[in-house]
């Protein structure tokens, strides 16, 4: 791992539009200097998740300091877990976050822009469970 | 270098998502702990969600406080962002 790189973020959603929108929002709020890569929908463009899309997104997001992956719901978690179980190299650079999707994406991206390492970015995402909107 | 520092800023615009993000990113660069207080509530300035959750609006007085070796610089940087929150916009 390259300590000088920033942590990348991958947003895995059943919906391509949701993943893209969340990535756009997180990039805007954080100032957009880290990789926030959406991986939404199936390979056919339907609602669902794609291991291949996740693999490509992780590759794009990885700048040498690790990647935090946020799944939206249910089988998005299973897709990422299955992918990591089959690929040790990928698993070595990826942390899977158990976090609310939008809030976690924003918190993780801001933490990455702030220079946080992979564990700090993961914590920022997971702390989103405790953040009240008002 | 002061171990603790504090400054109040009167907002001339609501504390929207983008300034909250810029503020959290700026605060994260300091080793000092940095917090915002407004309307009787307090938020960790390094947490973008906590800053947004403060719900600080135009005209409100927000107090920036920091504790740590670089507290003075941290407060100055965060207060400067609060001061231009209106320019940053939504």
H-helix or E-strand spanning residue A9 = strand A8-13
H-helix or E-strand spanning residue A92 = helix A88-93
- Given an 8 Å threshold on Cβ–Cβ distance, is B47 in contact with A134? no
- Please check the confidence at residue A3 and state whether its pLDDT lies above 60: no
Nearest CA of chain A to the CA of B50: how many Å?
A: 6
Nearest CA-CA partner of A11 in A113, A123, A101:
A101
Q: What is the pLDDT of residue A32?
A: 81
- Please check the confidence at residue A1 and state whether its pLDDT lies above 80: no
**Which site among A101, A110, A111 would you substitute to test the B interface, given the most B Cβ atoms closer than 10 Å to its Cβ?**
A110
Average pLDDT (A27-39) is: 95
ipTM more than 0.85?
yes
* Catalytic-residue membership of B68: no
The band of A23, judged by pLDDT with boundaries at 50, 70 and 90, is: very high
Cα–Cα distances in angstroms (integers) from residue B22 to residues A16, B16, B78, in the given order: 27, 10, 9
Residue among B16, B37, B47, B50 flagged as catalytic = B16
Q: What pLDDT digit, counting tens, does each position of B17-54 carry? A: 999 999 999 999 999 999 999 999 999 999 999 999 99
Q: What is the pLDDT of residue B84?
A: 80
| Residue-wise DSSP of A30-82 | HTS-S-EEEEES-TTSSSS--HHHHHHHHHHH-SSS-EEEEE-STHHHHHHHH
Burial bucket for residue A21 (CB in 10 Å: 0-12, 13-18, 19+): middle
Coil, strand or helix: which one is A86?
Answer: helix
Of residues B90 and A85, more confidence is placed in: A85
- Given an 8 Å threshold on Cβ–Cβ distance, is A106 in contact with B21? yes
The band of A104, judged by pLDDT with boundaries at 50, 70 and 90, is: very high
- Distance from C-alpha of A121 to C-alpha of A110, rounded to nearest angstrom: 8
Structure token pair of residue A14? 């059943």
Q: Confirm if A20 and A39 have CB atoms less than 8 A apart.
A: no
Q: What is the pLDDT of residue A2?
A: 45
- Distance from C-alpha of A7 to C-alpha of A108, rounded to nearest angstrom: 9
Cβ contacts from A onto B, under 8 A: 53
Domains of chain B: 4-88 (3.30.1340.10)
Query: Which residues in chain B have Cβ-Cβ distances shorter than 8 Å to A124?
Result: 47
pTM of the model as a whole: 0.93
Domains of chain A: 8-127 (3.40.50.510)
Q: What pLDDT digit, counting tens, does each position of B56-82 carry? A: 999 999 999 999 999 999 999 999 999
Q: What percentage of chain A carries pLDDT values higher than 90? A: 93
């Amino acid at each position: 791992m390259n300590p000088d790189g920033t942590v990348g973020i991958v947003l895995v959603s059943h919906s391509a539009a949701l993943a893209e929108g969340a990535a756009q929002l997180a990039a805007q709020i954080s100032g957009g200097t880290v990789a926030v890569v959406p991986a939404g929908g199936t390979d056919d463009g339907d609602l669902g998740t794609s291991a291949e899309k996740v693999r490509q997104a992780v590759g794009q997001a990885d700048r040498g300091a690790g990647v935090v992956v946020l799944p939206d719901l249910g089988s998005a978690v299973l897709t990422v877990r299955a992918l990591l179980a089959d690929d040790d190299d990928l698993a070595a650079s990826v942390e899977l976050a158990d976090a609310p999707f939008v809030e976690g994406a924003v918190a993780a991206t801001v933490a990455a822009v702030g220079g946080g390492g992979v564990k700090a970015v993961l914590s920022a995402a997971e702390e989103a469970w405790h953040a009240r909107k008002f | 270098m002061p171990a603790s520092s504090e400054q109040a800023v009167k907002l001339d615009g609501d504390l929207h998502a983008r300034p909250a993000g810029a503020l959290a990113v700026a605060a994260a660069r300091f080793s000092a702990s940095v917090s915002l207080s407004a309307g009787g509530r307090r938020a960790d300035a390094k947490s973008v969600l906590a800053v947004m959750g403060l719900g600080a609006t135009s005209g409100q007085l927000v107090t920036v406080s920091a504790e740590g070796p670089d507290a003075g610089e941290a407060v100055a940087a965060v207060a400067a962002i609060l001061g231009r929150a209106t320019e940053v916009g939504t």
